[in-house]
C-alpha cells in the first residue's frame, strides 16, 4: 500500500523513534505528545496539538475530532502509550 503523504509519515515515524530513544518509556501521553511536537518542528514540520477536525459523514458534519497531532495539516498522528503493541488499538489508529 502506498501512503498518501509518505514523506511526512516517514518523518513522523522517525520522530517517534527519536522521542522514545531520548525519553524512554514511562511518561504520561502529554509528555510524549509535546516531545513529538518539538521533534517534528525541529525537522521543519508543522505539528499542531489537539487540533479540532470536523468529521464529515456523507457530506454532513457529524462532530468534532481532536487529533493528538495534526502534522502539516494533512496527517493525523494518534499517540498510544503502552509497553507493547496492543491489537485492540488498531481500529482507532487506522481510522484516523
* pLDDT tens digits, one per residue of 12-36: 999 999 999 999 999 999 999 999 9
Name the average pLDDT for the chain: 90
Q: How far is residue 54 CA from its own chain's centroid?
A: 17
**Rounded Cα–Cα distance for residues 13 and 65 (Å):** 22
The cell numbers describing 23, all together, are 525519553
Can you read off the three cell numbers belonging to residue 10?
Answer: 516517514
Over range 37-56, report the average pLDDT.
96
Amino acid at each position: 500500500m502506498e501512503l498518501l503523504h509518505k514523506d511526512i509519515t516517514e518523518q513522523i515515524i522517525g520522530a517517534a523513534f527519536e522521542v522514545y530513544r531520548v525519553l524512554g518509556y514511562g511518561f504520561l501521553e502529554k509528555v510524549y505528545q509535546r516531545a513529538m511536537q518539538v521533534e517534528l518542528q525541529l525537522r521543519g514540520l508543522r505539528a499542531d496539538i489537539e487540533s479540532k477536525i470536523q468529521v464529515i459523514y456523507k457530506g454532513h458534519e457529524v462532530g468534532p475530532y481532536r487529533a493528538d497531532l495534526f502534522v502539516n495539516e494533512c496527517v493525523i498522528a494518534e499517540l498510544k502509550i503502552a509497553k507493547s503493541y496492543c491489537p485492540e488499538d488498531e481500529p482507532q489508529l487506522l481510522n484516523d
